[in-house]
Amino acid sequence: MTLHGGLRFRLVGLGLLALAAGCEPPTPPASASLIIDGMHCDDCAKSIHHAVTGVAGVESCEVSFADGEATIQADSAESLDAAIDRIRSLGFMADRAGPADPS
């Protein structure tokens, strides 16, 4: 990391990333597949979708009543956790189906 003219430079792979003074690189996106228990109809899936897409940082949400699953992509792990908490606040059980996909 080198300071030059108020900017910090960080080697990233074979490139160089310039960061404004005091800024850190963005948090990597997060995604998860969830098992949703408690959905009884398509309206339940629509309610979950509407609630989750209202969470700051959520980029996409797909909910399947037939499969009892949801897939959420967010801009950070914190936003993803907030989306899961939102589902639970609606009275549904939401558990990760497997390890979170780091991409």
- ∠ CA 44-47-50, rounded to 5°: 150
* The pLDDT of residue 28: 63
Write the DSSP symbol of residue 28.
P
Note whether residue 14 is domain-resident.
no
Note whether residue 57 is domain-resident.
yes
Note whether residue 86 is domain-resident.
yes
Structural domain total, the chain: 1
Indicate the pTM of the whole model: 0.69
Note whether residue 103 is domain-resident.
no
Conformational region of residue 57, where left means phi above 0, alpha means psi within -120 to 50, and beta covers everything else: left
What's the CATH code of the domain at 63?
3.30.70.100
Reading the block at residue 49, the tokens are 């979708």
* The pLDDT of residue 2: 43
12 bridge partner residues: 15
Note whether residue 83 is domain-resident.
yes
* The pLDDT of residue 61: 96
Mark the ranges of the chain whose per-residue pLDDT is less than 50: 1-18
* The pLDDT of residue 1: 44
Q: What is the domain extent for residue 44?
A: 30-96
